[in-house]
Amino acid sequence: MATALVILAAGKGTRMKSDLPKVLHPLAGVPILAHAMQAGAALAPERTVIIAGHGAEQVEKAAHAIDPDLSVALQTEQLGTAHAVAQAAPALGGFSGDVFVLYGDTPFIGADTLRRMAEARARHDVVVLGFEAADPGRYGRLVMAGEQLERILEFKDATDAEKAITLCNSGVVCADAETLFSLIDAVDCDNAAGEYYLTDIVGLAQARGLSATAVSCDEAETLGINSRADLAAAEAAFQARARTAALDGGVTLSAPETVHFALDTVLGPDTVVEPYVVFGAGVTVEGGAQIRAFSHLEGCRVAAGAVVGPYARLRPGADLDQGARVGNFVEIKNARLGVGAKVNHLSYVGDADVGAGSNIGAGTITCNYDGVMKHRTEIGENVFVGSSTMLVAPVRLGDGSMTGSGSVITENVPDGALAIGRARQVTKPGLAMKLFDMLKLKARK
């Protein structure tokens, strides 16, 4: 059965107290919205429609950065969840299959849960996702009769006996496209808020003789984010799960509670991660690598046997081959280090290729930016770059070449050559003592 996703992301999120749309606040290094999109991607949807409202241009840009092929529909007035889903109808014109309605501010719905909903759809016309709440509070209750979902009951309308029900409504639903939009067309706004509620489709389905059911998931999957406190709780929940998954996958975390993961962090078995390491988005570390304490990585690849840190920063485009070493207070950006290459301390290597076996001395900088454009530095294999060398790109150092410490290199260096680009030292005997005496005299006046 073909599948489509409709993800509701139109709300302003007033309680966030932010100009940024709620679904774009970062969670595990990516927008909250990306989590809902990733969960839905497990269903291999033919179409995805994001319903945007507040900050629609920002939401559309962020959504298309994740999936350029999705559609964005605009909900200009927030008139309820059924009204929001109705805005997806034009984008799903001609689609025949199941539609899943997810929420951009509910990041943890599991792929397995959505698959179980899809399996239930084979037997029922409408499927609702519920959860057993430890404290049902004011959640809507799911009233079941065996496998049949009879209705969704709002807390304020429930009797004392019905308030004792612990199976609560998450808001996530699934139905085939024709049924879903037909039911939504019949929803009215005859309620205190004057809004069109998606939950009303269950009662409408029953009135038409259609079958509805509920699938239950762990309450943690239904965590919604409405405030900064909720966002902090969601971050803590994600990090706890990510750390457990890493440990279960054969990764050594010497202080798990201090390591911060992104949604897409990939760590191979036998990777060692020391305390206070932060993984931003887009990081892959192959098995057997070592990430030492207080390092920050984003948008990079670290091959097997490589060592990073302590106190290192790998920025987007950093690519470390097997056995490469990046030491303390080193920054690598959009640069490849070949097999066994070393940049051990106090250096910046950006927009560069460093060949296998080369050694970059302390304090070296690839001067890659001229104020307008970026330029590339090419360093061959088995090159020795002396400490405090400035490599003014574009420039190439040939295989087996060497630079003298303190050099400013502005021209290509042939294979096997030594390049020295520094002023000749001049020594003035006794002048230091005279200068000190003059300065001390001046300071006393």
Judge whether 409 and 395 are in contact, CB under 8 Å: yes
* Token reading at 342: 């070393």
Instruction: Look up 64 and say whether it is catalytic.
Output: no
Whether cis (ω within 30° of 0) applies to the bond prior to 310 is: yes
Tell me whether strands 26-27 and 30-31 are parallel, antiparallel or unpaired: antiparallel
CA of 352: how far to CAs of 99, 248, 336, 375, in Å? 47, 36, 6, 9
φ, ψ of residue 169 in degrees (nearest 5): -90, 130
**Inter-residue contact 299 to 315 (CB < 8 Å):** yes
Cα dist. 269→266, 272, 290, 297, 300 in Å?
A: 10, 9, 11, 18, 18
State the Cα–Cα distance between residues 248 and 255, nearest whole angstrom.
15
Name the active-site residue from 25, 35, 83, 345.
345
**Which amino acid is present at 109?**
I
CB atoms within 10 A of CB 264: 16
Q: Are 413 and 396 in contact (CB under 8 A)?
A: yes
What element of type H or E holds 27? strand 26-27
Nearest to 359 by CA among 319, 327, 331: 327
Sign of the CA dihedral with 41 first, then 47, 52, and 56 last: positive
Positions annotated as catalytic residues are 345
